[in-house]
Amino acid sequence: MFQKIQHNYSENLPYIRLSRNYYKLININLYIFGIKYSPLNLLRIIYKFLFMRKIFYFLFFTFHLIFAQNNTAEVNIDKRLKTIVQNLNGNQKQQERDLLQLKSESKKLSYDNGVLQSGDLLMRLYLDQNRNQEVLELGIELKKVAKDKNDIYGYISNIYRRNALALGYLGLNDASLKDLKIAISYAKMIKDRDKKLYYLSLCYQNIGLNYNLKRFENKNLRDSLLYTYKKSIELAKQVSDDNSTVKKDFKYDQIAFTEMRLGIFYLEESNIKGSLELAEKYLLNGQRIYQDKKYNTPQRNKIMMLNQLSWLYMEKKEYEKSIGYAKQALELEKRFREPYHRVESFEFLSNSYMEIGEKEKSKLYMNEYTFLKDSLANVDRTNANTMMKKIVTEANNEHKESSKKQWIIIGISALIVGGCIFIVWRRRIKRLHRKYKQILEKLREEPVAQKRQANIIKKGEISNETEERIITQLEAFENSEEFLKKDLTIGMLSGQMNTNSKYLSEIIKNKKSHNFSSYINHLKINYIVHKLYNEPKYRDYKISYLAEICGYTSPQAFFVAFKKINEVTPAYFIQKLNEEDNM
């Protein structure tokens, strides 16, 4: 019966309407594997199955075709990116156009690896051209693509590291350090051993740069800074010379650049015995690599090395050598424009020519230095302000992804905190400005005060003859600049004045209202305040050089003494003096 009904139904189904009786006939219930079906329902299931199979095949072949096309496009993108990587020293404008095109194509295909790699190379290109603003804008975009991904190739580590560098160049040091630590965590995911070592070396070197900006404020960072630089060199030296994933040029440029950073570290401590010798050792180690024709290293790093050698020999008072290296740097800079390095060359040339007595040349280079430095400072300040606004905007956008209630709470909190910070900041600025004005008033009133003090002595209010003699000797001492000596002690001074240390200490305490150490510090800081106020050229000198002029053994000691006495930092005082001059 089942076979007959099945046969008739299958023959006539496309052509006739079933009569009520026939429908009843074929609506007989059947049991298949214990499940009740009517023949009509069973045929419907079979028909649907055959129809759905056709759809499945159609969808399968369509998907396969699309996937194959996408896969071919991704392979093509990878090949073109590989070609760019092999020719990184080529035409930068053409590379930028190619990378922007590849990034756009990868984005359309939702090919994240292509977006990350092309973006990483673009950030490198922008950093080489000091286009820090564009680096940070691109970094914000790429971080979103990188979210929740593993970094087996190192693209994400590089993106965070390059973003950190741009933040550091704009003075946003805390944000920079945060990104560098994230870059290290991603670098540890890289599969290839040599690439992992190389990228970790880059991260540690960049952390050293960050610590270097803060070490005068925080003495504890000195050891951390040395550790990160030496760790960077150690990791770079472990990279194989014959590995195709990390070019030998990259490896040795990394070693040379970090040696240079160590040299700069010791140059900044030139007042400490043995520092100049260590600086020379590290700088010459790096220079040997940059001079070796076996390695194709970046010209901008060679320019920077020549400038640091110029600085070294200026500190060693070998001024002809200093001038020679600075001029080499300028010649190289003419072919590879680097204004940030050019301004350093101008500074070293001006100082060295001044030391050998060629004042006209010194003045010429000082004018060049001042103009270029001011221009670069304005650009950096504008970029930093713009980027800070973008960072705040980006943070707000991320918060908007959470619930409305959370967003409102965070917004209100941010306004309150921001308001408090603004109030504190305004008060601090007013306090600093008030202190600055007090310094100026003191400078202007000093002649009157000195005259008044002289009159007091003449009137005989100090009756003791010995005290009068010593006070007179102290006045002569204050006018002689003997207090600038680094090794001056109360014993030495009392010997010069033919008295004993205890008595001299009592007179200084009673008549000058200071102990001996505080008295000398006030004389030194007062001396440099006068120089900065009356002779604008001193405002262009580095803090380390100002410290040496005053007779301090380290820039840190000078910084602390200046701030303690005047309640403003040397940098703030110089900035306000320059602003008033410009006005």
Q: Is 35 helix (H, G, I), strand (E, B) or coil?
A: strand
Across residues 269-275, what is the average pLDDT?
A: 88
In a domain, 396, yes or no: no
| Residue 504: CATH number of its domain | 1.10.10.60
| Residue 33 φ then ψ, to 5° | 55, 35
Task: Summarize pLDDT for 439-455 with one digit per residue, the tens.
Answer: 777 776 655 545 444 44
Residues in a beta bridge with 35? 32
In a domain, 265, yes or no: no
pLDDT tier for residue 340 given thresholds of 50, 70 and 90: confident
State which amino acid sits at residue 178. K
Query: Among the three residues 340, 367, 391, which one is the final residue of a domain in this structure?
Result: 391
> Are residue 355 and residue 461 in the same domain, yes or no?
no
Q: What is the pLDDT of residue 77?
A: 86
> Are residue 454 and residue 570 in the same domain, yes or no?
yes
> Are residue 332 and residue 410 in the same domain, yes or no?
no
Q: What is the pLDDT of residue 17?
A: 42
Residues contacting residue 120 through CB under 8 Å, at least 6 positions apart: 142, 155, 158, 159, 162
Q: What is the pLDDT of residue 233?
A: 93
Across residues 75-82, what is the average pLDDT?
A: 86
Number of domains in the chain: 3
> Are residue 416 and residue 361 in the same domain, yes or no?
no
Residues contacting residue 173 through CB under 8 Å, at least 6 positions apart: 167, 210, 213, 214
In a domain, 29, yes or no: yes
pLDDT for residue 102 is more than 70 = yes
User: Distance (Å, rounded) from C-alpha 478 to C-alpha 453?
Assistant: 14
Q: What is the pLDDT of residue 12?
A: 41
Task: Summarize pLDDT for 120-173 with one digit per residue, the tens.
Answer: 999 988 988 888 889 999 999 999 998 888 888 888 999 999 999 888 888 788
Query: Among the three residues 69, 103, 129, which one is the final residue of a domain in this structure?
Result: 129
Q: Residue 139 half-sphere exposure, CB side, CA atoms within 13 Å?
A: 29
Q: What is the pLDDT of residue 512?
A: 83
> Are residue 3 and residue 60 in the same domain, yes or no?
yes
What is the DSSP-derived secondary structure letter of residue 31?
E
Contact call for residues 265 and 252 (beta carbons, < 8 A): no
In a domain, 310, yes or no: no
Classify each residue of 64-102 as buried b or exposed e, where b means 16 or more C-beta atoms within 10 Å of its C-beta.
Answer: eeeeeeeeebbeebbebbeebeeebeeeeeebbebbeeb
Query: Among the three residues 129, 153, 184, which one is the final residue of a domain in this structure?
Result: 129
Among the ranges given (161-175, 283-297, 456-470), the one the predictor scored with the smallest mean pLDDT? 456-470
In a domain, 277, yes or no: no
Q: What is the pLDDT of residue 452?
A: 47
> Are residue 546 and residue 411 in the same domain, yes or no?
yes
Across residues 175-192, what is the average pLDDT?
A: 92
pLDDT for residue 401 is more than 70 = no
Q: Is 389 helix (H, G, I), strand (E, B) or coil?
A: helix
Among the ranges given (148-157, 224-233, 465-474, 529-538), the one the predictor scored with the smallest mean pLDDT? 465-474
User: Distance (Å, rounded) from C-alpha 39 to C-alpha 33?
Assistant: 14
Chain Cα centroid distance, residue 358: 37
Pairing of strands 30-32, 35-37: antiparallel
Q: What is the pLDDT of residue 182?
A: 94
Count of all residues that appear for the chain in the document: 583
Q: How far apart are the first and last CA of the chain?
A: 111
In a domain, 150, yes or no: no
> Are residue 367 and residue 422 in the same domain, yes or no?
no
Is the pLDDT higher at 66 or at 510? 510
pLDDT tier for residue 467 given thresholds of 50, 70 and 90: confident
> Are residue 13 and residue 109 in the same domain, yes or no?
yes
Across residues 467-487, what is the average pLDDT?
A: 83
Task: Summarize pLDDT for 516-533 with one digit per residue, the tens.
Answer: 888 888 888 888 888 888
Across residues 179-191, what is the average pLDDT?
A: 92
The average confidence (pLDDT) of the chain is: 78
Is the pLDDT higher at 361 or at 4? 361
Q: What is the pLDDT of residue 8?
A: 41
> Are residue 437 and residue 566 in the same domain, yes or no?
yes
Q: What is the pLDDT of residue 2?
A: 36
pLDDT tier for residue 92 given thresholds of 50, 70 and 90: confident
Boundaries of domain holding 19: 1-86+93-129
Among the ranges given (98-107, 292-301, 372-381), the one the predictor scored with the smallest mean pLDDT? 372-381
> Are residue 386 and residue 409 in the same domain, yes or no?
no
Contact call for residues 176 and 164 (beta carbons, < 8 A): yes
Q: Is 250 exposed, middle or buried (CB count within 10 Å of its CB: 0-12, 13-18, 19+)? A: buried
For the ranges 185-189, 247-251, 430-434, the one whose mean pLDDT is highest = 185-189
pLDDT for residue 18 is more than 60 = no
Q: What is the pLDDT of residue 323?
A: 92
> Are residue 409 and residue 385 in the same domain, yes or no?
no
Chain Cα centroid distance, residue 48: 65
What is the DSSP-derived secondary structure letter of residue 218?
-
DSSP 3-state helix, strand, coil percentages of the chain (rounded to 5)?
A: 80, 0, 20
> Are residue 376 and residue 503 in the same domain, yes or no?
no
Task: Summarize pLDDT for 433-442 with one digit per residue, the tens.
Answer: 776 777 777 7
Q: What are the Cα distances from residue 521, in Å, to 470, 482, 547, 552, 558?
A: 19, 13, 12, 9, 9
Is the pLDDT higher at 234 or at 394? 234
Q: Is the dihedral of CA 367, 372, 373, 377 positive or negative?
A: positive
User: Distance (Å, rounded) from C-alpha 60 to C-alpha 81?
Assistant: 31
Is the pLDDT higher at 144 or at 36? 144
pLDDT for residue 242 is more than 60 = yes
In a domain, 511, yes or no: yes
In a domain, 217, yes or no: no
